[in-house]
Structure 1
Amino acid sequence: MTESILLHKVHANGADYLVHVAKDEDAAICAPETVAQWCHRRTGIGASGFVQLTPTTAPEHTAEQVHWQLQAYRLDGSPQPVNGDELRAAARILIDEGHVELAPAETLPILTVNGIHDVQPNGSGGFQLDLGRWRLIQNEPTVLVPGLEIPRPGLEIELAGSRVIVIALAHADELAAVHIDTAPTIEPEPVDLPTIAYVVPDEPLVRDSVGWLRMRAWQPVSGGTDAGGTAAAATALAVRYWAGSDAGNRAPNHWRVTTDGGPLQVRMFPTEEGEHLGLAGRAERVFDTRVTLPQGEPR
């Protein structure tokens, strides 16, 4: 007997995801080759990645009532750390499909391989979420990519289980010239390829206590992306770090990062365990479809 499952297509600031909500905690994850087939742009449905949601119970080390866990996959079927884009896509489907009902100002905790992330609807039809703590990597990488004449120094940041190298460019023409679909050359060569984010500050940089940036990003496997929530958060951190203090005025903790897929909002805020990063952006349901599982696919 052939089995089919329901997939939801969601757009999140230019990134698009196939989201599947499993019936129970024991549901098996689809095989990597099946995910890759569904995500293929020409022979499948087409997506930047795949999001699997399964019911779960709250971990013992937290008081939060966590009912859902999320596993994210790249378009080739390989697992990846959770980006803010996948979290927004997941929240959109959990709420729209009635799996979750939130009271006003209530947050939705979602368990990932990087811990628990709190997601909350915002007034613009999207979601704001907590990406967690971040860490500055103490190295000095350089990046060369077609469109830039010489290697550029970068700042490497670890955030939500991902590493992002942020490259500051001089002006918007340089940003437009970067061959975003080409894999960059990184020195020293990393063991695992990080995301590369190219950023240009707006003029003026700060308006009404908010920093304004423009960003384009390259991700391993996916290549150039119109979105990149974690990359956007890392660019805001990097520019704040570079800006430092000017005449005693601290760089802002609220940022608007414009990507090819639209604007994302980033904020830095203190917690008991250290500074966290917040991210806000859109998540729009596009369509639903049923797909037949390949014969022998475990469920």
Structure 2
Amino acid sequence: MSGYRFLKGHGTENDFVLLPDHDGTIHGALAPERVAALCDRRAGIGADGVVRVIRTEALALHEPAVAEQDAAWFMDYRNADGSVAEMCGNATRVFARHLLDEGLVPTDEPVRIATRAGIRTVTRDGDTFTTDMGTPTLGPSSTVTIGHQGWPATNVDMGNPHAVAFLDDLAEAGRLFEEPGYDHSVYPHGVNIEFVVRVGERHVAMRVHERGAGETRSCGTGACAVLVATAIADGARPGALSGALAGAQPASEPVTYRVDVPGGELTLTWTPEGRVLLAGPAVIVAEGTTTL
């Protein structure tokens, strides 16, 4: 394959290789082995995932259902191992920054992004980008394990699956993650696992093992799941919720938590309408041409 353009960006050090492919001409670059080569931190560019920037209409041949979404641009996301992912919260912010920097969308309007989990809308305020991540869904609780130690986990779906477990100390999850164990009957397609400790009032810290990528420095959808699980545990749920707690009485005010990740800080808000807002930085650090 001849060379093609790439950019490197990150959101709280959850990093991505962006491939501008507006008309869908480099589909072969998304073969799992190529994605893995791009994400290789020693022999490639290095990243937690690959994001193809493509016009939604250009996907009509390969993914007609996705191409029907009412948004001009599609975030085609792959995990570092080449597997397809439904959603990546931090990537939506980096994706929006790229579109704005390149003049591909109006600067005075919210950026609408089509994804496999539906449309996500991003707004910008200086260097802070906020993504409306939609309404969470709660599933059956389960247990996650590392070695012989296990913790109960809250099942939160943010367009992709998450298991959120509370610990006394994040070091309990290990210096470097072993592959965590989980209930495959609850998560038949794998799961992202967040380990959480409380820091202060409406302030938590987390580590995450992402499905298809391993431990990463941050996870936007994981931070959303952590907000949901923590707010429920605190009796502070503000809005509508699908799944196990759909009938519970919500509060009338938005709930905001600070979520510290190894790569920085994210601000999460759960609105009275039940939507989760993810706010944080988005940075483009490099661009070039690759033949990987």
TM range, smaller chain: 0.7 to 0.9
Q: Does 1:196 align with 2:193?
A: yes
Residue by residue, what CA displacement relative to the aligned partner does 1:176-220 show, whole Å, maximum 9, x if unpaired?
2312521112246542221111111223x2xxxxx2111111112
Counterparts of 1:198-277 in structure 2, within 5 Å, are 198-203=195-200, 205=201, 211-244=202-235, 253-271=255-273, 275-277=274-276
Q: CA RMSD in A?
A: 2.7
- Stretches (4+) displaced over 3 A: 57-60, 187-190, 249-252
Unaligned runs of 5+ in 1: 206-210, 294-299
In the alignment, the residues of structure 2 paired with residue 108 and residue 252 of structure 1 have an alpha-carbon distance, to the nearest angstrom, of 23
In the alignment, the residues of structure 2 paired with residue 6 and residue 92 of structure 1 have an alpha-carbon distance, to the nearest angstrom, of 17
Greater displacement, 190-199 / 64-73: 64-73
1:101 Cα deviation (Å)? 2.9
1:258 Cα deviation (Å)? 0.5
* Paired position in structure 2 for 1:53: 53
Q: Does 1:144 align with 2:142?
A: no
In the alignment, the residues of structure 2 paired with residue 183 and residue 175 of structure 1 have an alpha-carbon distance, to the nearest angstrom, of 16
Aligned residues: 271
Structure number with bigger Rg? 1
Same amino acid, percent of matched pairs:
30
* Paired position in structure 2 for 1:110: 113
1:29 Cα deviation (Å)? 5.2
**Aligned-partner residue type, residue 86 of structure 1:** A
Describe the shift of the 1:29–1:129 C-alpha distance in structure 2 as closer, same or farther (beyond 3 A). Answer: farther
**Aligned-partner residue type, residue 134 of structure 1:** P
Counterparts of 1:108-187 in structure 2, within 5 Å, are 108-123=111-126, 125-137=127-139, 139-146=140-147, 150-160=149-159, 162-170=160-168, 174-179=169-174, 180-187=176-183
Three-state SS of the structure 2 residue aligned to 1:157 is: strand
The alignment's TM-score, normalised by the length of structure 2, stands at: 0.84
1:27 Cα deviation (Å)? 5.4
In the alignment, the residues of structure 2 paired with residue 157 and residue 40 of structure 1 have an alpha-carbon distance, to the nearest angstrom, of 30
Residue by residue, what CA displacement relative to the aligned partner does 1:112-149 show, whole Å, maximum 9, x if unpaired?
111110011123x1310111111110x23111215xx6
* Paired position in structure 2 for 1:297: none
**Aligned-partner residue type, residue 178 of structure 2:** T
Asked whether the 8 Å contact 1:142–1:188 carries over to 2, the reply is no
Q: 1:75 aligns with which of 62, 80, 92?
A: 80
1:282 Cα deviation (Å)? 1.1
In the alignment, the residues of structure 1 paired with residue 39 and residue 100 of structure 2 have an alpha-carbon distance, to the nearest angstrom, of 23
Describe the shift of the 1:37–1:144 C-alpha distance in structure 2 as closer, same or farther (beyond 3 A). Answer: same
Higher strand share: 1
In the alignment, the residues of structure 2 paired with residue 65 and residue 39 of structure 1 have an alpha-carbon distance, to the nearest angstrom, of 30
1:35 Cα deviation (Å)? 1.4
The alignment's TM-score, normalised by the length of structure 1, stands at: 0.83
